[in-house]
Amino acid sequence: MSAVEMSGTSDKGVSGPFLGVSASAGGNRWVDRLVPSRVHIALAIAQQHNVPEVLGRMLASRLGDDIDVGVYLDPSIKNLMPDPHSLQDMEKAAMRIAQAMTGQQPIVIYGDYDVDGGTSSALWKRFLAAHGLDCRIYIPDRMTEGYGPNAAAMQQLVADGAKLIITVDCGSTSHEAMQAVADSDCDVIIIDHHQLGEDFPPCYALVNPNRPDDLSGQGDLAAAGVVFLTLVAVLKELRKQGYYNDNRKAPDLLQLLDLVALATICDVVPLTGLNRAYVHKGLQVMHHRQNAGLRALADVAGLQEAPNAYHLGFLLGPRINAGGRIGNASLGAQLLSSDDDVEAQKIAEQLDRYNSERKAMEGVMLEEAVAAADQLIEKDPDTPIIITGSNDWHKGLVGLLASRLVDRFKRPALAIAWEGGGEGTGSARSVQGVDIGGAIRAAVDKGLLLKGGGHAMAGGLTLFESKYGEVRTFLRSALKEACEQAGSSSDLLIDGALTPRAANEELLHRLEMAGPYGSSNPPPRFVFPAHHVNFAKIVGNGHVRCSLQAGDGSRLDAVAFRCADTPIGELLLNNAGLPLHIAGSLKLNSWGGRTKVEMIIDDVADPRKNR
C-alpha cells in the first residue's frame, strides 16, 4: 500500500451502533468510523501534530499504521509523482509529440465532451501555446456523433492536414475510427484512462494506465491526470534535446494543476495518492484565479470564496458539462483554454444558461425515472441494477439520471434514451465495489451492444432495442454477486458528534487539512444528537432546507438534497418538534460578504426508535 493511501480496512461493527441507531430513516446502522482499538492512535496523532482531537480521530480511522501523517497533511507532487515512463508507450508518445513540436507539424487534440475531456484538451492547448505553437481542438457533437473518435471525423481531420492527432479521455476502444486513418501519413496517439480489452486499436502509441499490460499502478487517474504525466514526459524529452535555451524557457507545469484538479474531482476518481496531490495543489493554483475561463465561470456561479472540492464538483463542473449535454460540446474546452477575458465571460454566461435549462429538463426526466424504478423494485426488490428508458429523454442527460437513481436506490443504474431507428444511448453509474464498466465491456465482447465502455463507477453504451432484453438479463447476471456483497452492509460511518456551537469556521479550516474530500476520501460525517428542527421547507427540486437547534440554543442551517418525498425528508418536515439525531457533513457558505457553516444532511434517525 502507498504511504498516503487509505488502508481500506476497518474494524467497523466492533462497538455497538453510534447513539444506538440501528435503523435510521435512510435504512442505515450508524457506526463509529474509529474503532476502539485505535482511539489511542487518534490521541497520539493529535498530540504529535498539534491538530484538534477530532482531526486526529479522522486520520486514525482512515489511514494505515504505516502512514506518514506529516506527508499526508501536506501531499506534494514531488513526493507522489511517478516516473511518467512507467506507463506503457509513454516514452514513445513523448518522443513523437516532441518531434511534432520541434518540426511544427499540425497537431489536433480530439477530446471528449465532459469535464475530463475538456480540461485534457485545454491542457494541451495551453502547453503548446507556452511553446509558441497552436493546435486545433476537436470535440465531437454528443447528439450527432456520440462518444469518442468516429471514422468520418478522423478522416476529415487528416484531409485537413493533421500530422498528429492526440485523443484525450477517449480512443481506447475506437477500433473502426483508428483503422480509418491507419494508412495515412498522420499518426494517432491515444491518451486515456478507460477500461479496454487486450485487442488495442491501431495507433502510434496508446498511453492508458488501465491497459492490461500496464504495470504503473496509476489506473485511478482521470484522463487529465494522465495528460499531465504526458506533459512532464514531453518536457523532459525537449530538455534532453536541448530545446530550452536562453530564448526558450520551459513552462511551469504546476500552474496547470487547476485544470487537473477540476477533472479529478468531476470524474469522481479516488482521491488517494497522486490524485490527492493533484487536487490539493490544484486548488491552491485555482485560488489565484489565473485561468481566465475558470475565473469567469466562478463569477457566474456566484463563487465568492476560495474554491474547494465541493465547488468544483457541484458548481463549476456541472456548468462545463451542460455544454456537452444540451448545448455546444466544444464550449468547455474553449473556455478553459481561453486567455481572453471578454470571450471567457461570454462562454461562461452561455454555459450558465445551458445549466439552468439542464436543471429544468432533468427535473421532468427524473420524476419519470424514479416512478419507473419504483415499479421495477416493487416487482423485484432484489434486482441488482435499475434499468430505465424513454423515447422522450434527452440522451445528454441520461448520465445524470443514472447518478440520481444510484443516490436514491443505493444500487447501480442504467438510463437509456431511445431514439429513432430502434437504437438507444445509455449511461450507467455504479456503487463502490461493483464494476459497471467491466460489465459493459463484457457485454460488448458478447456482441450484445453496438459499443460501450467506461470504468468501475461509470460507463456508456449504445444498443439496439431488439437486444434490450438480452442486455438486461446479462447485466443483472453479471452484477448480481458483486451487488449482493456491496449491499450486505448498510453501515453509515460516523466521525463524531458535535453541536452547532462547536461546528465553527475554525474547525472546518482545520478539517480541510485532511482534504481534499471526494471518492475514497469522503468528507467527515458528524452527528448532531437530539436536535430540534426549528423549521423545514421544500426548496428547488425536492430539497429540504431546515434549521437545527441544540439544547443550549445554538443553531445550524442545513439542507437535505433531493429527499422531500423520502423517509428522511418526511421526518424533517413532519417531526412535530421532537428531537432528532441528524447526520451529515459540514461546509462553509459565503454569501453577501458573510461566511457561515452549513450542514449537508445524509441521514436522520428518531431517538425513540433507536434506544
| Co-location of 413 and 288 in the same domain | no
pLDDT, tens digit, for every residue of 424-445?
A: 999 999 988 899 999 999 999 9
Distance CA 608, CA 107 (A): 66
pLDDT at position 11: 40
Rounded mean pLDDT of 457-475?
94
Query: Please, what sign has the CA dihedral across residues 461, 463, 469, 473?
Result: negative
Q: What is the chain's alpha carbon radius of gyration, rounded to the nearest angstrom?
A: 24
> Residue 485's pLDDT is what?
81
Q: Is the pLDDT of residue 6 over 50?
A: no
Do residue 44 and residue 98 come from a single domain? Answer: no
- Residue 95 maps to a domain: yes
Distance set, CA 531 to CA 496, 537, 547 (Å): 15, 17, 10
For residue 7, name the pLDDT band (cuts at 50, 70, 90).
very low
> Structurally, how many domains does the chain consist of?
3
C-alpha grid cell, residue 184? 495515412
The Cα–Cα gap between 517 and 474 comes to 35
- Whether residue 361 lies inside any domain: the answer is no
Please indicate, yes or no, if residue 371 is contained in any of the structural domains: no
The yes-or-no verdict on residue 560 having pLDDT over 90 is: yes
Residue 72 located in a structural domain: no
Could you give the maximum distance between any two Cα atoms of the chain, in Å?
76
The grid coordinates of residue 510 equal 482545520
Tell me how far the alpha carbon of residue 436 is from its chain's centroid: 15
189 pLDDT tier (thresholds 50, 70, 90): very high
Instruction: Read off the CATH number of the domain in which 132 is found.
Output: 3.90.1640.30
Q: Which pLDDT value is given to residue 488?
A: 56
Output the average pLDDT for the chain.
Answer: 91
DSSP 8-class letter at 59: H
CB atoms within 10 A of CB 161: 11
3-state secondary structure 136-183: EEECCCCCCCCCCCCHHHHHHHHHCCCCEEEEECCCCCCHHHHHHCCC
Of 460, 486, 512, which residue sits at a domain end?
A: 486
353 to 119, 126, 266, 291, 323: CA distances (angstroms): 20, 26, 20, 21, 9
Residue 1 predicted with pLDDT over 70:
no
Residues 246 and 329 in one domain: yes
Backbone angles phi, psi at 534, to 5 degrees: -65, -45
Q: Are residues 98 and 27 in the same domain?
A: no
Cβ atoms of residues 433 and 485 within 8 Å: yes
| Amino acid at position 149, single letter | P
Confidence class for position 15, pLDDT limits 50, 70, 90: low
On whether both 223 and 86 belong to a single domain, the answer is yes
How far is Cα 533 from Cα 558, in angstroms, rounded to an integer? 10
In the prediction, which pLDDT does 74 show?
Answer: 86
Q: How confident is the model at residue 260 (pLDDT cuts 50, 70, 90)?
A: very high
Answer yes or no: is 176 within a domain.
Answer: yes
Distance between CA atoms of residues 140 and 142, nearest Å = 6
Q: Does 412 sit behind a cis peptide bond, omega within 30 degrees of 0 on the bond before it?
A: no
Concatenated DSSP letters of 261-294: HHHHHHTT---SHHHHHHHHHHHHHHHTT-SHHH
Same domain, 111 and 228: yes
The residue type at 488: S
399 shares a domain with 507 = no
pLDDT digits (tens, 9 = 90+) for 467-505: 999 999 999 999 999 988 876 557 899 999 999 999 999
User: How many CB atoms are located within 10 Å of the residue 455 CB?
Assistant: 23
As a whole number of angstroms, the distance between CA 334 and CA 379 comes to 47
Which SS3 state, helix, strand or coil, does residue 120 take?
helix
What is the tens place of the pLDDT at every residue in 366-400?
A: 999 999 999 999 999 999 999 999 999 998 899 98
Q: Which residue has the cell 509513454?
A: 90
* CATH number for the domain harbouring residue 538: 2.40.50.460
Please name the residue that has the C-alpha cell 492490461.
212
pLDDT at 352: 96
Q: pLDDT tens digit string along 60-69?
A: 998 888 778 8
CA atoms of 73 and 69, how far apart (whole Å): 6
User: Are both 524 and 467 inside the same structural domain?
Assistant: no
Asked if the model's pLDDT at residue 316 lies above 80, the reply is: yes
Inside any domain, residue 561: yes
Alpha-carbon distance 596 to 590, whole Å?
Answer: 6
Q: Check residue 518 and report its DSSP letter.
A: B
Residue 250 contacts residue 503 (beta carbons within 8 Å): no
Query: 325-352, pLDDT tens digit by residue?
Result: 888 899 999 999 999 999 999 999 999 9
Q: Within this chain, do residues 437 and 499 fall inside the same structural domain, yes or no? A: no
Place of cell 458483486: 482
Q: Is residue 75 part of a domain?
A: no
Of the two residues 71 and 117, the one the predictor is more confident about is 117
Q: What gap in Å lies between CA 544 and CA 604, rounded to an integer?
A: 12
Cell of 487: 449491499
Asked if residue 244 has pLDDT above 60, the reply is yes
φ, ψ of residue 366 to 5 degrees: the values are: -65, -40
Q: What is the pLDDT of residue 525?
A: 96
Residues 450, 334, single domain; the answer is: no
What are 25-62's pLDDT values in tens digits?
998 999 999 999 999 999 999 999 998 889 999 999 98
Strands 580-591 and 594-605: antiparallel
C-alpha cell at 601: 444532511
Kindly state whether residue 367 falls inside one of the protein's structural domains. Answer: no
C-alpha distances (whole Å) from 357 to each of 229, 245, 352, 401 are 36, 50, 9, 15
- Structure confidence at residue 489 (pLDDT): 54
Residues 478 and 512 in one domain: no
Query: Would you state the cell numbers that stand for residue 133, as one nine-digit string?
Result: 505553437
Residue 154 CA to chain centroid, in angstroms? 28
Answer with the one of 437, 463, 486 that is the final residue of a domain: 486
pLDDT of residue 408: 87
For residues 165-173, give the mean pLDDT: 96
Domain C-terminal end among 312, 335, 352? 352
Q: Which long-range contacts (C-beta less than 8 Å, at least 24 apart) are formed by 231-235?
A: 231/123, 231/124, 231/127, 231/256, 232/81, 232/84, 233/84, 233/85, 233/90, 233/91, 233/93, 233/94, 234/94, 234/97, 234/98, 234/101, 234/127
User: 402: domain CATH number?
Assistant: 3.10.310.30
Asked if 558 and 587 touch (Cβ cutoff 8 Å), the reply is no
Q: How far is CA 563 from CA 549, 585, 586, in A?
A: 21, 16, 18
For 216-227, give the secondary structure using H, E and C: CCCCCCCHHHHH
447528439: which residue's cell?
143
Q: Which three cell numbers stand for residue 99?
A: 518531434
One-character DSSP codes across 315-358: IIHHHHHHHHHHS-TTHHHHHHH---HHHHHHHHHHHHHHHHHH
Spatial separation of the C-alpha atoms in residues 238 and 234, rounded to whole Å: 6
Higher pLDDT, 146 or 215: 215
pLDDT tens per residue across span 75-98: 899 889 999 999 999 999 999 999
Range of the domain at 186: 81-352
pLDDT band at 558 (very low <50, low <70, confident <90, very high): very high
One domain, residues 401 and 469: yes
pTM of the model: 0.84
Residue count (the chain):
611
